Structure 1
Amino acid sequence: MKKIVRSTLVTALLALSVSAATAAGPTRTECIAPAKPGGGFDLTCKLLQISLQETGQITSPMRVTYMPGGVGAVTYNAIIAQRPAEAGTLVAFSGGSLLNLSQGKFGRYSENNVRWLAAVGTDYGIVAVRKDAPWKNLSELMEAMKSDPTKVVVGAGASIGSQDWMKTALLAREAGIDPRKMRYVAFEGGGEPVTALLGNHIQVVSGDMSEMVPHLQGGKMRVLAVMSDQRLPGELATIPTAKEQGFNVEWPIIRGYYLGPKVSDDEYQWWEEAFKQLVTTETFQQQRDMRGLFEFNMFGGELDAYVKQQVADYREKAKSFGLAK
């Protein structure tokens, strides 16, 4: 009789545990890309949207919405102040988001005000030009900028002090160019500078490799350098690094997601486990590779510590350009 009671109790507890785990999953999901369509944040949300749907980890399709403004600042403030407890709402972030946080560009909020959830890939900074541009390598481009900085217009999806600006500023400093003399045009999101480049309104794009892959396949653009420690694999192996061309600049860019500060521990843990399972699937890995991202998986507390260390490191880089206190 005791065995039957014990067995019944265990069964009931297991059922309760399964029910609680199931209840922790959000019924409606949304990924916010804090920029206009077409850039890296859009890419990050679409990666999650498609992968979750194809692996069946959510019951209804995830919605992707766009909230441009301040290269992430508007979204960051909105999630914290207006939507802090929405368990189904994830926001895409990148290394650029962390750089902006390091400079105080998100207003009164810091890296301590959201719940850093998952990093699912890394990207690398690049410098690209039109296919018919006169510069065949990074040295030729930097020499042209050095001889007359006013004749080479660099465009990117963020303002002065952003990671796209910082990447070109570091290259300029390596080449003996005063970064303050660069002609730099800021756009909102990664799609707009590419359009401007193809329209010949600017001469150079400072961006991320993942954003460039579709355009490279179209044959209208050429990447002069990738800011990785070594050449990338596969078809991208033909692109030289900045380092091998004599410019000691690396710029990896993680891509991931955060949640609002009042999302409960149970809801947070549901997402953490979901991501840990998701990144092991062939579906996700194919989707990640299609977008030019490289493997970088980090979750929960480990990611939280990594983010805070990165913000501290970026703050020191920004200080060297007089952009942070």
Structure 2
Amino acid sequence: MKYSRLTLLAICTAGLAANAHAYQPGNKVECLAPSTPGGGWDFTCRSVGQVLSELDLVPRSVQTLNMSGASGAVGFSHVLSKRNTDNSLLVATSTATASQLALGRYPGTEDDVRWIGTLGSDYGIIAVSKDSEYQTLNELVTAMIEQPGSVTFTGGSGVGGWDHLKVLLLARVAGVEDLEGITWLASTGGGSSITQVMGGHVVAYSGDLTEAAGFLDSGDLKVLAVLAPERLDGEYADLPTAVEQGYEVTGANWRGLYMPGGISEDAREYWVDAIDTLYASDKWQQLMTDSGLMPFHLSGDEFTAFVGEQVKVMRDLSRDIGLLEQ
């Protein structure tokens, strides 16, 4: 059978279109937040789900599934063991995930999942309750130097997690000699750790600005330092940085999504494109502004390479501060 050049072109174009849409999400799309409600991963899932629906990138609303435990390890294990080929499962991730992978605390490696894309970056904060005896970063650091065990910290990660690493980075820069003497109390998520600080059970909180925004607005938390290279714009411009107070410490926390390692290539391409579209949308850009997220977007292969490099850097850092053997 012979075809005209126009007919052949039509066939090729139709084939490309079919390939481009070989995967379409079904009616049940879930986003797994490996934390309790109220934390950063929960925020990522709920925000992404809302905008995906508004942009008609999913046929129905996205359900958020909270699965806390072991700083994300429980969720990671669930993905690998129970849903490794689920083309409709998004998983909230962040710098904290990379830190746990660097320490070997997940039942797998960064190569066992598919890295989809980032959706902005948050900056870490060191905060205390409004009634704390420590009203400045210098006061807190002085207490850490004189008696490290007297200053207890908490955050949404375990020992060696990103929230903990931010405290140790600050302590090392400040000249605290006994880093292991600083007490870190792990929590099941950012929301519960903030509650511990507000209740006076823990001295200070190490987490991220968006995670604590509501408690800052209500006045229940006082930020001693933002771990950004310079002051933020907008409503948080009055918050001091650690850098301006003489401590050269920054702590950016990117937020994004990964998916199970066994998903189809068509599904991976669909979701990478979908997250690219979401990030570029006016709706997401406004949401980032409203929530205090800074612009930061990588996707697909570029994101995969970035995570691999960050895990390596964190692993080296953990060795430097004694969390891993040399």
Tell me the TM-score normalised to structure 1 length: 0.94
SS of 2:293's partner is: coil
Partners of 1:4 and 1:166 lie apart in 2 by 65
Aligned to 1:225: 225
Letter of the 2:204 partner, please give it.
V
Give structure 1 stretches of 5+ with no counterpart. Answer: none
Alpha-carbon offset, residue 72 of structure 1: 1.3
Give a deviation string over 1:152-171, Cα, whole Å, max 9, x none.
Answer: 32121222111111111121
Aligned to 2:96: 96
Aligned to 1:21: 20
Partners of 1:82 and 1:110 lie apart in 2 by 16
Aligned to 1:144: 143
Give structure 2 stretches of 5+ with no counterpart. Answer: none
Alpha-carbon offset, residue 211 of structure 1: 0.6
Is the deviation greater in 45-54 or in 22-31?
A: 22-31
Partners of 1:130 and 1:186 lie apart in 2 by 18
What are the residue-to-residue correspondences of 1:83-232 with 2, within 5 Å? 83-107=83-107, 109-177=108-176, 178-232=178-232
Aligned to 2:296: 296
Is the deviation greater in 132-141 or in 58-67?
A: 132-141
Aligned to 2:61: 61
Q: Is the 8 A contact 1:94 1:253 kept in 2?
A: yes
Give a deviation string over 1:241-286, Cα, whole Å, max 9, x none.
Answer: 1111111111111111111111111111111111111111111111
Alpha-carbon offset, residue 96 of structure 1: 0.9
Is the deviation greater in 17-26 or in 240-249?
A: 17-26
Partners of 1:221 and 1:167 lie apart in 2 by 18
| Identical-pair percentage | 36
Alpha-carbon offset, residue 182 of structure 1: 1.3
Q: Is the 8 A contact 1:43 1:291 kept in 2?
A: no
Alpha-carbon offset, residue 141 of structure 1: 1.2
Q: Is the 8 A contact 1:94 1:254 kept in 2?
A: yes
Aligned to 1:305: 305
CA, structure 1 residues 7+289, in 2 after alignment: closer, same or farther (shift >3 Å)?
A: same
Alpha-carbon offset, residue 21 of structure 1: 3.2
Alpha-carbon offset, residue 112 of structure 1: 1.1
Aligned to 1:280: 280
Alpha-carbon offset, residue 9 of structure 1: 4.8
Partners of 2:58 and 2:6 lie apart in 1 by 32
Partners of 1:106 and 1:184 lie apart in 2 by 20
Give the aligned length: 323
Q: Is the 8 A contact 1:47 1:288 kept in 2?
A: no
Alpha-carbon offset, residue 6 of structure 1: 4.6
Tell me the TM-score normalised to structure 2 length: 0.94
Give a deviation string over 1:71-130, Cα, whole Å, max 9, x none.
Answer: 1112212212221111110111110110110110013x1111111110111111110011
Partners of 2:163 and 2:280 lie apart in 1 by 31
SS of 1:266's partner is: helix
Aligned to 1:266: 266
SS of 2:247's partner is: coil
Letter of the 1:209 partner, please give it.
L
